[in-house]
Amino acid sequence: MTDTAKDTLQPANPGSNAMWGGRFAAGPDAIMEAINASISFDKRLYAQDIRGSRAHAAMLAATGIVSNSDVVAIREGLLTVLSEIEAGNFPFRTALEDIHMNVEARLKEIIGEPAGRLHTARSRNDQVATDFRLWVRDQCDAAVLGLGALIRAMLAQAEAGADWVMPGFTHLQTAQPVTWGHHMMAYVEMLGRDMGRFSDARARMNESPLGAAALAGTSFPIDRHATAADLGFERPMANSLDAVSDRDFALEFLSSASICATHLSRLAEELVIWSSAQFRFVALSDKWSTGSSIMPQKRNPDAAELIRAKIGRILGATVALFTVMKGLPLAYSKDMQEDKEQVFDAADTLMLALAAMEGMMKDLTVRRENLEAAASSGFSTATDLADWLVREAGLPFRDAHHATGTLVAMAEAQGVDLPDLKLAEMQAVNPAITAGVFEVLGVHNSVASRQSYGGTAPDQVRAQIARWKERLG
């Protein structure tokens, strides 16, 4: 080993981590310090850490475990630490490993000896579980708000185009005419389920780990119900082992985020397709498009494409945390330090994608005339013809399906659409056909007839819009 390498691997500030007490004779070397420290990312938990510590301190005073005077100093000192962090003046130190040690060490510098009493009746295990749970709970709230804003933008689009006809697709082939409003409301329903998942996850995670200590609880006469209430939790977690080892709340958040990002990716894909020169259904504003470095005619839907790709990061984070947690014995293992970066990145990515999609939908220009022209092509009313034959001519559906297929082939051979066929030509296929059939062959007649609950008829679409407006308040 070279002298340089030896120097690199010398103990970094031996004995600097007094929080470990007398168990270790020297501090970790540089590599151990680097792999062990989490302050580079868990400093994002500072507000939750300080909030949890203030609640814990208040409980220690209320139960007589720590004197009121010491707790007053602790709680005031923690507010000073909070103000330093928010002002950007806090000296984060890698040698202190994590946000908990950094806050406590700084608190000791500010108030002295009383700071050492803050950690009475708790462990970093229940402390980090509490901090992280509080943070993820906040992210569930943020996701619900972001989804609500996007849903309102989708409702505005649906209301404007409640009776604009467009082609409905299966296999990306023209299927039946629908309305623009109906298509938008499909995404509203998807996003609404996403809101429900985040809300459900929040309700399940709303239990406090604080007071579980390392894994077995504590012999001090603490009041876990008091700290739970102080932090806005419904109740304390009922099992101390579970409290420090559970990361279901993070997995549920990531799972909900993955499903939501999948929905955003599907909508983004449609925006990419619809804005192409081959479709020209919509136009993205300049704010959400870019040009080409070589082709001056190009308007690239980059924002939509990036949203389409974000599912990769979020789903990757979900798989990563499932992999970390899948084989861990109870209770806490250091593996669980790897739980946060994925969640932080997924939360940031999701909120950015929601905000970008909201912006695009607000600025989206819909080309109504192109939608209607496309809806009128591709024999989109063939199913209406088959239904008419069943309803008016009394044919079994399979016979009506066969007759309609014959008429579609006839129209295709002539290069016309179904409404352009002559009545005599239709009657040659089935003499039961009358002139009344032409009333169902237009795309507007088709969508107006879809009156079943949840159908594409404009009045059904408007009813669903009204329901959602009432739900959102």
As a whole number of angstroms, the distance between CA 38 and CA 31 comes to 13
Instruction: List the structure tokens of 470.
Output: 């009432």
The dihedral through the CA atoms of 407, 411, 416, 422 has a sign that is: negative
- Eight-class DSSP state of 15: T
Widest distance between CA atoms in the chain:
100
Instruction: List the structure tokens of 445.
Output: 């007649």
The dihedral through the CA atoms of 279, 285, 288, 292 has a sign that is: positive
For 24: left if phi > 0, alpha if psi spans -120 to 50, otherwise beta; the answer is beta
Q: Where does 326-396 have alpha helices with state H?
A: 340-363, 368-375, 382-391
As a whole number of angstroms, the distance between CA 93 and CA 439 comes to 77
Q: Is 292 an annotated catalytic residue?
A: yes
Instruction: List the structure tokens of 424.
Output: 């005599």
Catalytic residue among 40, 69, 83, 292: 292
Catalytic residue among 171, 219, 293, 452: 171
Contact between 81 and 110 under an 8 Å Cβ cutoff? The reply is yes
The dihedral through the CA atoms of 404, 406, 407, 409 has a sign that is: positive
Question: Looking at the annotation, which residues are catalytic?
Answer: 171, 292
